[in-house]
Chains A and B, each alone.
Chain A
């Protein structure tokens, strides 16, 4: 598999996420599309990490090039989990106040 397969797959997933954010008005669906975009970026980082490992292991078979990319994916997952916990708490609070999770009702920033 060459890297362009992975690039096109990730770009397609990312653009599906963007279409979801732009077209849907349900806040939870918007949030899930953001998770989809995170996963597209993660997949591309892992693919690039394996690409660099293959290029470096030709010169030195015991290399660990490309480890940084996979650790970045790990940290992205950590930040995404923290973001989801706070974001869902905000959505629950918003549902209690306005009895709706429609994003078009939230254009006032007051009451």
Chain B
């Protein structure tokens, strides 16, 4: 029951992200989508990823988007070349990709396997931290270097 509520919330607000005119409104709808996906993580008992999803996506990244949108004055900018056929072709090609993926995946034999809900302790921070700092130490350190270079790059690009 909760699964269907979160699914409808995620899909509906994702559609509103694409089709709302005001960029600020689509950012707010995207935050609602992220909260619905966080609800799915909690339903799957992936508690660490749920918290990280709220803090990093809904907290940090969306605030960054809101800052950038409000820094630019976008209200009077309307797209000058409105090509209806281009939008139509985009919607048609996206829907046909959806159709092809569903038709290809519909009859595979792993489709009826159960997913464990509400229990299981692999998503807790104890297990994830142990594996992250024993087997995945090298990728962890490399991602810290990636963060440092991204920070330097953002400052250098934004300064000139």
Closest to B123 in A: A70
Tell me the minimal C-beta distance from B32 to chain A in angstroms.
12
Chain A residues with a Cβ closer than 8 Å to the other chain, count: 73
Partner of A54, one of B26, B111, B116, B127: B116
How many angstroms from the CA of A65 to the CA of B26 in the assembled complex? 38
Tell me the minimal C-beta distance from A93 to chain B in angstroms.
6
A92 contacts the other chain (Cβ, under 8 Å)? Answer: yes
Given known pairs A23-B18, A28-B23, the reply for A50 and B115 (CB within 8 Å) is yes
Partner of A64, one of B49, B86, B127: B127
Q: Is there contact, CB below 8 Å, between A89 and B115?
A: no
A-B residue pairs in contact (CB < 8 Å), sample of 18 = A1-B3, A1-B117, A16-B14, A24-B18, A29-B17, A29-B23, A39-B57, A50-B46, A50-B116, A51-B113, A66-B122, A71-B128, A73-B49, A74-B52, A77-B52, A80-B61, A81-B61, A88-B64
